Amino acid sequence: MLSRTADHLYWMARYTERAENLARMLDVNSRMSLLPQGTEILEQGWIATLTIIGLMDLFRQRYDSVTSSNVIAFMAFDRENPLSICSCVHAARENARAVRGTLTSEIWETLNATWLEMRGTSLRSSSEAEVGNFFEWVKYRSHVARGVIQGTMLRDEAWHFTWLGTYLERADSTARILDVKYHLLLPRGEQAGGAADYYQWSALLHSVSAFEIYRRVYRDLITPRRVAELLVLRDDMPRSLRRCMSQVHMHLQSVRNAQSAETERRAGELEASLHFGRIESVFEVGLHEYLVRFLGQVRDLSDRVSRDFLVSAAD
């Protein structure tokens, strides 16, 4: 298929996934802000989220103070912010539009409808209920998009590039969401392992739709080690790093070309390390340090995918 077409499909999928994960990430902090805590802690939570997404500087340029309503305005609706949910939904739609001839009409119509609805949406208040509904809607539209892709798309190269984008993005996002916890402070007087800590971990689990899964799998208390194990190493957890990397590796194998051997090897190496890794070794390095390194590896793979397939070096 055309390199440019593959590029648009890949980014269509990445932006769709990114919009969803931004909603998830913001949702963690929204949920945490319900805890009885001082404004300082709340502010620290938002700063952590913005830092992890890499947008703290841009936010400071555009807003005076770190309040829930400012951050949500910035991250959800601000078109000047290239990584707001609104901008991502738009970018997904524009990428789809550029290759609408390659997509089934259902896929295009779904992404177009999401954008049309997004454009007509604004929050009347930053009340918890309204913000929560909005995040739910973003996730729901992303589910619909994936479902339509799953249900209507020919299993050809276009399919593989679409999922390559989805899983690379998801690997990146899950790692960042998990890392949010590292940056969070506990309220004064609270201990690690105390109620507030528990609440933070459970909010994180909720945000990646893993709370019930955790209960089913472990039937036990929520501990950092198990949360990390679930989101890093478990193959049956759809948003875990391992699951994402095994999918990335598989789709890379399906689109293999003359120059992609090294990219495939690196993806395989990363997958193997997750496959055979133990959570103890992750914690020996330190979870935060581990995640930072993982994000670097995902970035490397993304760059290599672009070079090998998407910007063609044909001439």
Partner 1 sequence: MSATSYDEMHASDGEVREHYRTFASWLARTPSDRVAHKRAEADTLFHRVGITFTVYGEDAGTERLIPFDIVPRIIPANEWKHLAAGLKQRVRALNAFTNDIYHSQEILQAGRIPAEQVLCNGQYRPEMQGIDVPGSIYAHIAGVDVVRAGEGEFYVLEDNLRVPSGVSYMLEDRRMMMRLFPELFALHSVAPVEHYPDLLLENLRSVAPSGVNDPTVVLLTPGAYNSAYFEHAFLAQQMGIELVEGQDLFVDDEFVYMRTTRGPQRVDVIYRRIDDDFLDPLVFRPDSMLGIPGLLAAYRAGRVTVANAIGTGVADDKSIYPYVPEMIRFYLGEEPLLSNVPTFVLRRPEDLAYTLAHLKDLVVKEVHGAGGYGMLIGPAASKAELEAFRQRILRSPEKYIAQPTLALSACPTFVDAGIAPRHIDLRPFVLSGREVTLVPGGLTRVALREGSLVVNSSQGGGTKDTWVLER
Min dist. Cβ of residue 120 to partner 1 (A): 12
The DSSP output letter for 156 is S
Min dist. Cβ of residue 217 to partner 1 (A): 38
Contacts of 22 (CB under 8 A, 6+ apart): 53, 75, 83, 84, 85, 88, 138
Closest CB to partner 1 among 257 and 281? 257
Interface residue list for partner 1 (CB under 8 A): 1-6, 94, 97-102, 105, 108-109, 112-113, 116, 157, 161, 255, 257-258, 309-310, 312, 314-315
Question: How many angstroms separate the CA atoms of 209 and 25, rounded?
Answer: 12
Question: How many angstroms separate the CA atoms of 249 and 270, rounded?
Answer: 9
Min dist. Cβ of residue 109 to partner 1 (A): 5
DSSP per residue, 96-125: HHHTTTTS-HHHHHHHHHHHHHHHT---S-
Closest CB to partner 1 among 95 and 173? 95
Min dist. Cβ of residue 134 to partner 1 (A): 22
Min dist. Cβ of residue 187 to partner 1 (A): 48
Q: Is 219 left (phi over 0), alpha (psi -120 to 50) or beta?
A: left
Do 14 and 163 form a contact (C-beta atoms < 8 A)?
no
111: nearest Cα among 39, 17, 176, 27: 17
Closest CB to partner 1 among 113 and 295? 113
Closest CB to partner 1 among 3 and 202? 3
Closest CB to partner 1 among 1 and 250? 1
Min dist. Cβ of residue 315 to partner 1 (A): 5
Closest CB to partner 1 among 103 and 177? 103
Closest CB to partner 1 among 43 and 109? 109
Closest CB to partner 1 among 285 and 311? 311
Min dist. Cβ of residue 115 to partner 1 (A): 10
Token digits of residue 193? 């392992």
Question: Virtual CA dihedral for 205, 207, 213, 216, nearest 10 degrees?
Answer: 50
Min dist. Cβ of residue 197 to partner 1 (A): 47
Closest CB to partner 1 among 124 and 155? 155
Contacts of 136 (CB under 8 A, 6+ apart): none
Reduce the DSSP state of residue 70 to 3 states and report it. helix
Token digits of residue 281? 């070794």
Min dist. Cβ of residue 258 to partner 1 (A): 7
Backbone angles phi, psi at 38, to 5 degrees: -75, 160
Q: Alpha carbon of 20 to those of 17, 136, 189, 283: distances in Å? A: 5, 9, 34, 28
Reduce the DSSP state of residue 71 to 3 states and report it. helix
